[in-house]
């Protein structure tokens, strides 16, 4: 494994930074302390620093020479609203807040790359180090883009990485094209006319109507979406009624939709809305359909995903880079940045197993999870090499 020696020499320092952030987790848009640490470190390393983008977001910039070429690297800084069960010294100091997704590690790896790049400056052009708030559900990435991230800090390409416990430490997994799902969630409220359970002919039954909508909704994926385009539609809640002998006034259906293309997302939205409306009309009921967007699908640029896989291969060897990894049903708001600028997102193996917690499976969002500090220099090396290869003297203008 070809870890950059300068970065390897900072392993203890990076571990210290990572554990300090882990012990002081902050929720989305409240990353005041983390953001202050990031800004201070970037200044110390010699980067230009811009703060206050999307409230707590920070961008560090390093320019070398006059080349117009540029690259963006992104890490997320927020924690999750969950209780950590670990008891080691760097466990969360705050009740109900935990770095359960490893964003402490992402932030630290990008700081490691920043320090290396600012010191060695072996590239021609500009690198923007993007530290975003609120990845977990609040769309800090979207807010940064809306606040003009790529107008103020133009990037020819942008890259990010996420630790992946199910993948062995020292391995990378990527995929050209759609890699992470987009999400939507829905609330469908059927309004009938409540009446006595023994006299259905005097009312309009919202339960039967809702049951038909739930059943018909299962035809959306199987009959209107190509089998080559994976989509999930799950009705996860049905709520109606309180009594044995009362036909209730309303019934509510809720659930989640996951898909990999905008086309599928719009198709599901339109078809589901139509089915709910027409089915309700058929039973004489009324319906309110509310389908809310989650993050869009995360789509890797084919060329940039190939470039990233090549750089990763240079570091860990071809056997440790899965270039055509599986699609993942989870979502990521880096997708908003990839909608604006070509780039790629990669999974960095960190090994499940027992490190730190005693859990047999330390999946992200598990209360016993901890980022594996062993991979800090590897992630930082990948970030650094992406810059040196993308903005190397042979490619720079
Ligand atoms: Zn997460
Ligand atoms: Zn995450």
pLDDT digits (tens, 9 = 90+) for 307-357: 999 999 999 999 999 999 999 988 999 999 999 999 999 999 998 755 544
Cα separation of 236 and 254, whole Å? Answer: 6
CA of 395 to the centre of ligand 2 (A): 32
CA of 164 to the centre of ligand 1 (A): 11
pLDDT at position 396 over 50: no
Q: Provide Rg for the chain, Cα atoms.
A: 24
For the segment 259-286, the average pLDDT, to the nearest whole number, is 96
Task: List pLDDT tens digits, range 191-205.
Answer: 999 999 999 999 999
pLDDT at position 360 over 90: no
Q: Determine the angle formed by the axes of helices 32-45 and 11-23, rounding to 10 degrees.
A: 160
Neighbouring C-beta atoms of residue 365, cutoff 10 Å: 13
Q: What is the pLDDT of residue 372?
A: 94
CA of 148 to the centre of ligand 1 (A): 25
For the segment 180-199, the average pLDDT, to the nearest whole number, is 96
CA of 102 to the centre of ligand 1 (A): 8
pTM for this one?
0.88
Angle at 382 between CA 381 and CA 383, to 5 degrees: 90
Counting ligands in written order, the one closest to the CA of 160 is 2
Neighbours of ion ligand 1 (CB under 5 A): 101
Neighbouring C-beta atoms of residue 25, cutoff 10 Å: 27
CA of 49 to the centre of ligand 1 (A): 26
Both tokens of residue 188? 């469908």
Counting ligands in written order, the one closest to the CA of 80 is 1
Cα separation of 91 and 97, whole Å? Answer: 10
Both tokens of residue 228? 């080559």
Q: What is the pLDDT of residue 393?
A: 63
Task: List pLDDT tens digits, range 284-310.
Answer: 999 999 999 999 999 999 999 999 999
Counting ligands in written order, the one closest to the CA of 100 is 1
Cα separation of 114 and 47, whole Å? Answer: 8
Q: Is-contact 191 286, C-beta < 8 A?
A: yes
CA of 7 to the centre of ligand 1 (A): 26
Nearest 10 degrees: Cα torsion 360, 369, 72, 342: 50
């Amino acid at each position: 494994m070809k870890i950059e020696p300068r970065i390897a020499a900072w392993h203890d320092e990076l571990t210290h930074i990572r554990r300090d952030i882990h012990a002081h987790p902050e929720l989305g848009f409240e990353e005041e302390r983390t953001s202050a640490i990031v800004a201070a470190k970037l200044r110390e390393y010699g980067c230009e620093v811009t703060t206050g983008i999307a409230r707590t977001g920070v961008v560090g910039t390093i320019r070398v020479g006059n080349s117009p070429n540029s690259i963006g690297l992104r890490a997320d800084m927020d924690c999750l609203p969950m209780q950590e069960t670990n008891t080691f010294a760097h466990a969360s100091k705050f009740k109900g807040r935990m770095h359960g997704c490893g964003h402490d590690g992402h932030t630290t790896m990008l700081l490691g790359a920043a320090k290396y790049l600012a010191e060695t400056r072996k590239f021609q052009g500009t690198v923007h180090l993007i530290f975003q708030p609120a990845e977990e559900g609040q769309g800090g990435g979207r807010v940064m883009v809306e606040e003009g991230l790529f107008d103020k800090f133009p990037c020819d390409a942008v890259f990010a990485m996420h630790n992946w416990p199910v993948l062995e430490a020292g391995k990378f997994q990527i995929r050209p094209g759609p890699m992470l799902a987009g999400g939507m969630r829905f609330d469908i409220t059927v309004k009938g006319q409540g009446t006595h359970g023994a006299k259905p002919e005097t009312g309009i039954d919202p339960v039967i109507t809702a049951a038909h909508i739930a059943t018909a909704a299962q035809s959306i994926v199987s009959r209107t979406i190509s089998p080559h385009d994976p989509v999930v539609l799950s009705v996860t809640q049905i709520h109606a009624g309180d009594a044995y002998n009362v036909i209730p006034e309303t019934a509510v259906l809720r659930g989640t939709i996951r898909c990999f293309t905008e086309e599928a997302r719009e198709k599901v939205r339109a078809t589901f809305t139509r089915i709910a409306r027409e089915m309700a009309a058929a039973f004489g009921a009324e319906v309110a359909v509310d389908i809310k967007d989650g993050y869009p699908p995360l789509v890797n640029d084919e060329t940039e995903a190939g470039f990233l896989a090549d750089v990763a291969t240079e570091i860990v060897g071809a056997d440790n880079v899965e270039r055509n990894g599986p699609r993942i049903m989870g979502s990521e708001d880096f997708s908003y940045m990839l909608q604006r600028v070509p780039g790629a997102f990669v999974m960095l193996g960190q090994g499940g197993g027992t490190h730190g917690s005693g859990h047999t499976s330390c999946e992200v969002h598990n209360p016993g999870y901890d980022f594996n500090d062993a991979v800090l220099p590897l992630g930082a090396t990948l970030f650094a090499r992406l810059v040196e290869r993308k903005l190397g003297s042979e490619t720079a203008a």
